[in-house]
Chains A and B, each alone.
Chain A
Amino acid sequence: MTKTRITYYPVQFIVLHPLIPVTINTVLPSHIVKITGIKVVHSVGVQNMTTEKYLPVIGHLSLEFNSKQYHFGNIEVPFDYQAEASDEFLDAGIDIQRNSLLTGNYENKVFTGIDYLKADGTVTDKWSNYIVTIYLKTMSND
């Protein structure tokens, strides 16, 4: 008999340009049957562009589940390089259809000035690519 258990499933994406949105489009594994929590964190990269340890919003993430049938909403993504950073998940209760898509868009909101962006639209050497991770707390039946 298959028993359902909690697992934590990360989805990582990279941001390569301050003004170009990142499109998220990936199939969730078939063993995930429900999502009970969501947390979005900055992983690495932004620390190369600032000496601050905390920025409340570096970008906005819009997330959709079940192949765009369910819009979870817009999430503000902070940059938090402190050990006491919150480790809470946003509550969710989304039943996941088998082999459905996780989709969405991420828009960067920081480091968009002339120090980071040339007139021709290319980035300067002060810009650093960065990685954001979406953590899904899931019920899995694998």
Chain B
Amino acid sequence: MIRGFRFQKVSLRISKSGQRVYFNTESHKDFTQLKGIALTVGHEGALYGSTFGFRIDEKEVLDESHEAHLLVFGNDVAPNRKMLLFEIPIPINSSKIEGIYTDSSLQDLLGNASYNPGGGIISKNDVNVKKTYVSGKEVVKYSNFQVDGFQMLSGSGFSIGGYSVTPAPVTVVYYPYDVKVTLLLTR
């Protein structure tokens, strides 16, 4: 008998600074609503400045520049306190689920002085690379990608980008580290 909810998980491994990790998978066929999402990141220092974008059936839910630390729970935070719960659940039906995790993506923007003297709005073009979702040209195939504990084959849609950024000097991050994406599905 199937319970009324399920936590579907996707595991990612970040191997170097500035890596972009793309995944796609399908929502479990027995569940019809996505109620929440959360991340766990294996290294606290990696939280800040890293971003996570998320789409369902090619409709954006979280922009690619959404900060990972807003979705993360750790030892002192219960998952149900930190999970981003959708007030209006997202309907799913074996839906295509896509995400992009970018390590230390915002640090790269700190040195950009091409704004007014005091600063200003950062252009979406500087933070987002939305074409990654469709073209895949900037990504490299990678095989170490798991959904619910099952290893996916190379070429199943998990990819790593090629550009690198320099993290802020006081932010020490140890690589590799793992990111787990937890999706709360209900019937």
A-to-B contact residues, CB < 8 Å: 5-17, 20-26, 41, 43-45, 47-48, 81, 83-85, 87, 128-131, 133, 135, 142
Contact = CB atoms under 8 A, between A and B. Distances in A.
Given A13-B121, A83-B44, A83-B72, A131 B88 contact: no
B47 interface: yes
Given A10-B63, A41-B70, A87-B84, 8 more contacts: A6-B86, A6-B87, A9-B63, A16-B118, A23-B116, A47-B48, A83-B69, A128-B110
B12 to A, nearest CB: 19
The binding surface of chain B is classed by DSSP as loop
A12 B122 contact: yes
Interface in B129-160: none
B59 A45 contact: no
B33 interface: no
B106 interface: yes
A13 B77 contact: no
Contacts of B107: 44
Contact of B168 (A9, A22, A128): A128
Contacts of B82: 83, 87
Name which of B60, B77, B121, B168 has the most chain A CB atoms within 10 A of its CB.
B121
A6 B117 CA distance: 35
Given A23-B116, A41-B70, A81-B48, A13 B122 contact: yes
B90 A5 contact: yes
A14 B72 contact: no
Q: Among B70, B75, B113, B115, which residue has the most Cβ atoms of chain A within 10 A?
A: B70
A27 to B, nearest CB: 10
B4 interface: no
Nearest to A19: B118
A15 B119 contact: yes
A15 B116 CA distance: 10
- Top 9 A-B pairs, shortest CB-CB distance: A20-B118, A44-B49, A83-B74, A16-B119, A12-B122, A22-B119, A14-B119, A15-B119, A44-B106
B62 interface: yes
A36 to B, nearest CB: 8
Which of A13, A22, A131 counts the most chain B CB atoms within 10 A? A131
7 contacts: A5-B59, A15-B118, A23-B118, A45-B168, A47-B171, A131-B110, A131-B122
